[in-house]
Structure formats: C-alpha cells, structure tokens
Structure 1
Amino acid sequence: MDPLIWEAPFQNVFCLYFSGMGPVHMNEVQCTGFEKSITECAFNKEALGCSHEEDAAIRCNVPSMGFQESLRLSGGRNPYEGRVEVLVERNGSLVWGTVCSESWGTMEAMVVCRQLGLGFASNAFQVSADNVVMSGVRCSGTEMSLSHCLHHGAHLSCAKGGGRNAAGVSCSETAPDLVLNPQVVEQTTYMEDRPMFMLQCAHEEDCLSSTANQVPANSYRRLLRFSSQIHNNGQSDFRPKAGRHSWVWHDCHRHYHSMEVFTLYDLFSLNGTKVAEGHKASFCLEDSECDEGIEKRYECANFGDQGITVGCWDTYRHDIDCQWIDITDIKPGDYIFQIIINPNYEVPESDYTNNILKCRCRYDGHRVWMYSCHNGGSLSTETEQTFPGLLNNQVTHR
C-alpha cells in the first residue's frame, strides 16, 4: 500500500501507513506544530468512515549530534550490552572510564541505549569494573545524552570505589508499551459498601486504608470500584521481571504475584493532596482478549506463563479483590483520580509517559462519578502549571 502522508508545518517529519490495532480515537487531525501534545490539535472525535487502512505513524529524522562518540559499551556478549563507559576530560586529557551504579536503573539505561542508537533499555545491572569517572547519575529518561542527566560532575562520590559497583546495560530494538483504556474506567466506576468480614483476604494484602485495622468485623468499608483494561501497544511482549521461581504465592487468594506492585490507584484533592490510595500487585498478567488475528500467549491458569502479548490486553474486572480505592474516610467533594501502571519502572517500556491515567471524580456521599478520563496525566494547562507534582509517575518504593 502506498504511504499515507500528513502535511506538517515542520521539516523532516512525515507519516506513512502503519498496521493499526484497537479503536480509532482521532480523525482529521490538524496541528499547527506548536502544540505540547497531539491531543491539543484540532480533530474530529467521530471516527466514522476512518478505518485502520488510514492509520498514521511517523518517522522522525533525528539529526546526528555526536552524542554517541562520548559513550560506549564494553565487555558485553554482543554490541547491545556491556559495561557503560564515558569519555571525560581529566587533567587536560580525554579518558574513558566507568559510571558508578549507585541509583542506576531503567531510566538511566534508557538514556544510554538512546544515545547509542540501540533502541530501548531491556535491563540495567551492575558489573565489576574500576576507574569510575562519573557518579550520582539520575535521569528522567527523556535525555538525549547521559551527560544531560543530573550527576556529580568532577566531584566523584561512589561508596564502593567502583569495584563491583559500575553501571551496565543491555538494549533491545523493541520494547513493550502499556496503555490504559480511559473509557473502560469511566464506564465501569461505581460505589460499594462491603462488610469487613468479606474483605479479610484484601485486608491481608494491604488493599484497604490504614483505618481498617481498628474497626470491628461487622463494620463496612466504602469502596470506589472500577475496571482496568491494560493494552500492550508496543513491539514486544510485556513480561514480569522476576522469573516464575521467585513469584510469591498468596494462599488467601490462591494465586501467584509476579510483580511486587503492578498498578497504583490514588485519589487527590484538587490542591494535590493525596486523600486515599490503593495498590494492585499483579494477581496475574495474562491475555484477556486480543485484536483480530492475534493469538493469546499468556494464561495464569495452572501456573502458566504470565505476560501481555503485543496487540492484546489484560482486563482487571471491577468485581475482583483490590480493584478499588477505599474511600470510607473521605468527605463528599470533587477529586482527581489517578492510575499508574508499572510505577517503579520494574519492567522496561518504550514509553512511560502514557503509563498514567487521570480522571475527574465527583463524590456526593451517596454516588460517585468518573469523567474526563484520559492518558498522559494532564487534565488542563492550568492543572499542569499549578500542580506539577500530579503529572509525573515518579513514585517512591513502598
């Protein structure tokens, strides 16, 4: 099929035919080129007459800026992995040295792979090395070069001196990309009052607020319930980082947890204060449904392999344990509801900016409404500028 071309007000970006998956969300898109997000462009919300034969994608022309000349991988089994080495100036000479791996993680590895043109990070690890020349590296994940990340500069501070504590990465040409379906959250939200004696398993797995620890068994908890439909729109399957030998069996619910925390659910006041929270360990990662022509590969039954195939989605229904936020203690009012998938970046993905979903939430004491749900975190320009802390998926380990 001939490529489909979008007219663009800037050079070096053009679009071509792309094999589509799922519903069509935007039609007749018209951008000026100055928008922060494609969702800020004018578009027709009606997808009538727009099929996947007209799906758009882009190819970006990234200019060569020489970043890869000051970074290399060494000692790996192939060109896509190895010890990270950077070229720095020391005493008037350029020398190669290693990077201290303290706080080294997926975001830093992502920058290394991007800088070298090796795709996406698949693993961040420690290797045995010496001659540390860079320490304190902290990246947001969007930088074009490791030198653009925060670091200590010339004042090195690496507790173990580099030995057994230097940074390594492995890169991959493809990566998964998880995205939540906002419409499913809106359409399935409701409130339930559930007695404590029916919540014992959930209580054991820390799925209720802390005040549930002091209440009698004949009391109840008020739960904000909803379904989550998590699509893998990437180019490779999403698999738990831990192998099945290290999955944790939870006897009460009779299932294995393959990830410590897979999803976070939070409720914020309009001034950005967290008022209620929930969390969902991965009960099981499996293919609930797939796009036409794609076969399911992962099923949790009988201790099967866990994961989400490209073009498939995992649905956590509103009626299963922990698929809620405990709102027993909050007052009626307007709130911001937030979901974050893979919050601690435990599994590398090609894009983390779409791992967050935000909604407006209204609770009148008797009923609850969820509306204006969408991916990306931003609810409005005003919200971005006033409450920047709400708009990223940087979370601390729990």
Structure 2
Amino acid sequence: MKTPGLKISILTLLAVVLCPPFGSPVGAQQGSCATQIGPKMPDLIVDQALLGAQMFVTEETFGNSTCTVKENCVTSPGKHLLLRFNGSTANVGKADLVIGNPGSCGSLFLFDDCHQHYHFQQFADYRVWSLDGYNTWVANRDLTIASNTGINAQLIALALSQGQLKTTRKQGFCISDDTPYLSTAGPAAYQNCDTQQGLSVGWEDQYPPQIPCQFAQIDGLVDGTYVLEMHVNPDLLIPESDYTNNTGAIKFQFTAKHGNTGPSIQVLP
C-alpha cells in the first residue's frame, strides 16, 4: 500500500516495457508506451469489495496552495463535501502490466510540479450517479469503446445535463504491486513509483480512501439513493484482453446534514 504522497493526483499514464524485471511470472506482451506486441495481455478490474467496504463522507477545507486544488481534484479552494472510498485495481489477466519510463511517452504523461512526478492522465473515472441515471447508463453503454467517444460520451453528456450524473472526475495512479489479489499470485515485481511501476498478474494496486484526491466531490447532494462507479482505463489507452469488466459500482443511501447531525451514507445491497 502506498503512503499519501507516493500515489496521488490527477491521473497517471502507463508505458509498458518489453519484459518484466525481477523474474516476474508472466511477461507483458506489450512494447514501450502500451504498444501491443503479443497475444497475452493484462486484464484490469475494480476491487468492488474494497470499494464498498471503505466508503465514508467528510467535510474538508483546502487552501489555494494545496496539491488537491492545484491538481483540480476539487472545483475550487474552500470547504467541500467529499465521498471518500478505496479505489483499487487488480490484474487478473495473462500478462503483467509493466510501466516504463513515463518521460519517454511524450504527451501521454503529465509532469506534476506539485508532487514532482509524472501522472498518467486517463487511468480511472470516478462517477456519482442518481439511481435512474446509472440504470440508463448500464442499459445503453458500450464498454468495448472508450468512454469519451460514441454512445458513451453521448450518455455521459446527457446525464450531466439532466442532473443524473452528479459528479465525474478523472483520477491518476502510480501503479504498483501492493497486495496479492489471487491465491496464484507470484512474487511482487513492481513496487517503486519512481523507477519501476507495474502490476503483476494476480496482484492489486491499492488506493485507500485517506490518500489525497481519493474521493468524489459531492457538494449539494440531497437525500437519496445514488451509485458510486469507478471505471478503470475508461478511454482504453492500455491494451487489455477484456474491457467489459473494467467497472465497479456501489449503491448507497445518502443523508445530508440536518441541524447538528452531519452527513452520512449507508451502503446498500
């Protein structure tokens, strides 16, 4: 698990090297900067169990000089209502995801002056939906195409305009082997955010809710039933064997602040 400050930010981009270091069990059959060169591929999924188990609301204040403001994790300085949650990604594919030197991939990476490291800019989307909005999205979306194109982009734009999509934000990751996800996982191979990022087969990259920017801003949310959705690799920038399993979603009941009673959530089945 990363400590706050190692994995933070706006979004983190992945480059992939030819073969994994340290005797990793399965070589990623991709070239540098996520170029596919073989049939075996990673397969990224959201850890939905952790997503639902570690959700809570907080009210927090951010100054102009904070990285949270500079990285646009909130819409403005000041006090905000946040839905914090665990955003973790596992690799259940046939090959490691290997991240090379981010500085070699041009515009795919953004160097963050606040944290002094590169960020992959399209790694995950965080969305908070109304229940009706989420049901419409699931019934009509096409996860085999990028979320920013075609029917997916149209559905998201329409939901935003109608108030059914309450908030959406992209988030960046420093990818590393934090904890085994599958019992068949081999030894960890990628555990350095500065020099060797990646995600071995059977391992999970964890972002606990306390990490900066690990939240959705929910200012003004009223009492009701909502859905938190995490969509990993939403724009299909990372070649995978399966894109249809890249989302995780948790339904929850939200109760706004009333008098001296603070806001709260209850995860629903």
Q: TM-score, normalised by structure 2?
A: 0.67
- Within 1, Cα distance between the matches of 2:65 and 2:235? 27
Matching residue within 85, 98, 114 for 1:226: 85
Task: Give the C-alpha shift of residue 271 in structure 1.
Answer: 2.6
RMSD: 2.7
8 Å contact from structure 1 (residues 186, 371) kept in 2:
no
Aligned pair in 2 of structure 1 residues 306, 368: CA closer, same or farther (>3 Å)? same
The residue aligned with 1:297 is 189
Matching residue within 254, 265, 269 for 2:126: 265
Unmatched runs of 5 consecutive residues or more in structure 2: 1-28, 134-163, 257-262
Aligned AA for 1:289?
A: T
Matching residue within 19, 37, 40 for 1:174: 40
Aligned pair in 2 of structure 1 residues 242, 252: CA closer, same or farther (>3 Å)? same
Task: Give the C-alpha shift of residue 248 in structure 1.
Answer: 3.1
Unmatched runs of 5 consecutive residues or more in structure 1: 1-120, 124-168, 373-398
SS at match of 2:176: coil
Aligned pair in 2 of structure 1 residues 170, 250: CA closer, same or farther (>3 Å)? closer
The residue aligned with 2:70 is 204
The residue aligned with 1:317 is 208
- Within 1, Cα distance between the matches of 2:53 and 2:88? 12
SS at match of 1:307: strand
8 Å contact from structure 2 (residues 64, 70) kept in 1:
no
- Within 1, Cα distance between the matches of 2:64 and 2:88? 25
- Within 2, Cα distance between the matches of 1:232 and 1:327? 30
* Structure 1, 173-182 or 270-279: larger mean CA deviation: 270-279
1:288 aligns with 2:149: no
- Within 2, Cα distance between the matches of 1:308 and 1:265? 21
SS at match of 2:197: coil
Aligned pair in 2 of structure 1 residues 245, 223: CA closer, same or farther (>3 Å)? same
1:52-201 residue pairs with structure 2 within 5 A?
172-197=38-63, 200-201=66-67
- Within 2, Cα distance between the matches of 1:307 and 1:251? 22
Aligned pair in 2 of structure 1 residues 255, 360: CA closer, same or farther (>3 Å)? same
Aligned AA for 2:241?
A: S
The residue aligned with 1:57 is none
1:356 aligns with 2:222: no
Aligned AA for 2:197?
A: Q
Aligned pair in 2 of structure 1 residues 332, 316: CA closer, same or farther (>3 Å)? same
Q: TM-score, normalised by structure 1?
A: 0.46
Matched residue count: 199
Task: Give the C-alpha shift of residue 199 in structure 1.
Answer: 7.8
- Within 2, Cα distance between the matches of 1:122 and 1:300? 20
4+ residue segments displaced more than 6 Å: none
| Higher Cα Rg, which structure | 1
Aligned pair in 2 of structure 1 residues 252, 171: CA closer, same or farther (>3 Å)? closer
- Within 1, Cα distance between the matches of 2:168 and 2:250? 14
1:238-249 residue pairs with structure 2 within 5 A?
238-240=97-99, 243-246=102-105, 247-249=109-111
The residue aligned with 1:103 is none
Which has the higher relative contact order, 1 or 2, with Cα contacts under 8 A spaced 6 or more apart?
2
The residue aligned with 1:130 is none
The residue aligned with 2:268 is 371
8 Å contact from structure 1 (residues 279, 322) kept in 2:
no
SS at match of 2:188: coil
